[in-house]
Structure 1
């Protein structure tokens, strides 16, 4: 594991994580793991979230101070005033935003308080709103895959203002486990030798879970002895359950909902499929590979950076449920192929996408963006603004 970033800074950097959502998703997981892994002698964290709930509780359990502040694409005066007062009163050194509504709030407050702002863009494209905020406030953009980096350059972002920090996975938490008796198969009433295909992700349009259902229908014809599970929840859950019934998948495909034991779940699966229309660097796919599983994934965003076609799994075109099903069938029918591809999956993630490396790169970026001491003028400007308000 790479060493933690070091710095000659006299006191820990005070970072305000401004998080524009609080659901169970890849972005929220990234924030949790970043806070958990960054040494406290290097950084102390305060977080702004749009509402209280389980996500806020998790951040507090990790040692962050958490405040709930309403966030919208057009921030309210109250949200701006509250955030600016917090930055000034608590001596925040840098604001780190996630999602556009957090970016605009952090960008405006950073401009007023003369604090640096970095926005991590977790999607594959640079949206117009993020681009407008960047141009208006001078925020730095951090992207998570090469496609996003080159897209930023193509829309006019200066190379000095964008950094690629690929996502990372905890390769100790997610690692191959010895195959014993399968408690998941027992719970589902399946024979222990039943081949098991998994979909892991939010049940929302960009993840294309409906394509996974169509692939499962085709796979059932090719591998009737196999079964499939979908792990996650989201706005499409009810329609997907109805679609599964219409496709004749009742009893063959199982909806597991949200799970908090994902390392154990991955150890029960044989193959993982990702059918997304849009991705940057999907954490669920990285976790599956770190767990020693072969994957079949759509060729979108940063996925080709992660999956080596023909070595760690296969890439397919978006919406091509037939090809996805055929690739999954090959893997489910060939234990030796699964083992070889799964071993290479694990090796690739360990060598190139370990969480320690991700944290180290982000730590270096934060150090680069924050000057050794805040300009004295910044305190004057912020105090004047607050007095006038």
Structure 2
């Protein structure tokens, strides 16, 4: 692919002289997902839904399947949430249900997310006929990597046909490259808007959280606490960190703990592994938590050992919490962590020995402090929430203006 990706600017000028949108008019954005359960994509959707400037935007959320625990992340009371109750999978019933929701909500822009919503939303928007379709890919393009080669080829054909006709967004350069490779479009046609977040708590409050959580799980202030915040799913490869934890030198093991925050389909399997390795006194499952910052405050190092990522929202939150990072070299992890100054250690995917070595290296306070300072500075400078929100506002405004012109 030639050319450079289109990276959204960090501010939104709603009073631009070439705007085609009358000042009193609010652009209605409908965000569409398969289901709204706990995960990084859902946290991003909540940030967009809560963050768009209400002077210029109105927001709805459509869930093809169901609304889960992530509903609590939507703090704005004016966001209408529509649950269609249709399981993922291509069906004309889903198309009709989405089109019906669009007819009632009357959005100007429909922003679908990930493979499971692409085809149904495209057909529904065509049927509704009054909205601009934007599609966002944020991780494993074409859905699960475990589907058959024939199915993936069919999905690629569908994506190629649709994405040449609509606007495409991603949160990372690696996902943008995948999309361009599959779709065969020029890289400049993909809008990259990196994840962003705000720092929620002052240092003194984080110190209080640290004390409370460590007391809750029987971890002393002097303990070395390795942390995970993730959906407990296959792609996160969380068995790797448990095995690496088990391989730590004997002299480290007594004072080292692993704190796993999150829930998901692999939880029972991971708990069984912990039992088999006789680690139950030092590996702690905290389950789903709406306030993950509280638990990050108790950690000394954050680990992301995924097999596949776009840009990890949890990793950015850990950086903002002042944690050094150990991450597998997937997605934009290396780009995020290693420039301009290393905010952590990047290892090869599924490499237990390298992960164990990195955990040993991070057990030294001075090493952690240096990486943490770089990670915190990088997050503040490049991955702020305001930067992300202004990027989406500018894109939505341009698309709505172009639609009115036509």
TM-score (norm 2): 0.85
Which of 135, 139, 146 lines up with 1:119 in the alignment? 135
Q: Indicate yes or no: 2:248 matched with 1:219.
A: yes
Task: Using the TM superposition, give the Cα deviation of residue 167 of structure 1 relative to its aligned residue in structure 2, in angstroms.
Answer: 1.1
CA displacement, residues 125-160 of structure 1 (integer Å, 9 cap, x when unaligned):
456537614523722211111111122222302335
Residue 132 (str. 1) matches residue 158 (str. 2): yes
Q: Is the 8 A contact 1:195 1:226 kept in 2?
A: yes
Structure 1 position 347 matched with structure 2 position 373: no
Match of 2:174 in 1: 147
Counterparts of residues 258-273 of structure 1 (less than 5 Å): 258-273=288-303
Which residue in 2 is equivalent to 1:101? 116
Aligned to 1:33: 47
The answer to which of 8-17 and 128-137 deviates more is: 128-137
Given that 2:303 and 2:327 are in contact with CA atoms closer than 8 Å, whether structure 1 keeps it comes out as yes
Q: Is the 8 A contact 2:35 2:67 kept in 1?
A: no
Matched with 1:254 is 284
Q: 1:54 Cα shift?
A: 3.9
Take 2:300 and 2:75, find their aligned partners in 1: how far apart are those partners? 35
Worse overlay, 51-60 or 40-49: 51-60
**TM-score, normalised via structure 1 length:** 0.88
Residue 321 of structure 1, CA deviation: 1.4
Counterpart-to-counterpart distance in 2, 1:206 and 1:175? 33
Say yes or no: does 1:6 pair with 2:35. Answer: no
Match of 1:164 in 2: 192
CA shift, 1:52, in A, is 4.2
The SS at the match of 2:331 is coil
Q: Identify which of 62, 72, 82 aligns with 1:48.
A: 62
RMSD: 2.5
Deviation at 1:111, TM superposition (A): 2.4
> Could you say which residue in structure 2 is the equivalent of 1:230?
260
Q: Indicate conservation of the 8 Å contact 2:228/2:260, yes or no.
A: yes
Partner of 1:22: 36
- Give the Å deviation of 1:358: 0.9
Counterparts in 2 of 1:53 and 1:253: CA distance versus 1, 3 Å? closer
Select between 177-186 and 288-297 the one with higher mean Cα deviation: 177-186
Alignment CA distance shift 1:154-1:265 (3 Å): same
- Mean CA deviation greater in 150-159 or 287-296: 150-159
2:61·2:79 contact (CA, 8 Å) conserved in 1? yes
Looking at structure 2, the residues matched to 274 and 322 of structure 1 have their Cα atoms a distance apart, in angstroms, of 15
Whether 1:65 aligns to 2:80 is yes
In structure 2, relative to structure 1, the CA distance for the partners of 1:32 and 1:276 (3 Å cut) is: same
Unaligned runs of 5+ in 1: 377-389
Secondary structure (helix, strand or coil) at the match of 2:239 reads helix
Superposed displacement of residue 219, structure 1: 2.2
Residue 215 of structure 2 is matched in structure 1 by 186
* Structure 2: tracts of 5 or more residues without a match: 1-9, 144-151
Separation in structure 2 between the aligned mates of residue 68 and residue 262 of structure 1, nearest angstrom: 26
CA distance change for structure 1 residues 60 and 223 in 2, over 3 Å: closer, same or farther? Answer: closer
TM-superposed deviation, 1:306: 1.1
State the secondary structure of the residue aligned to 2:297. helix
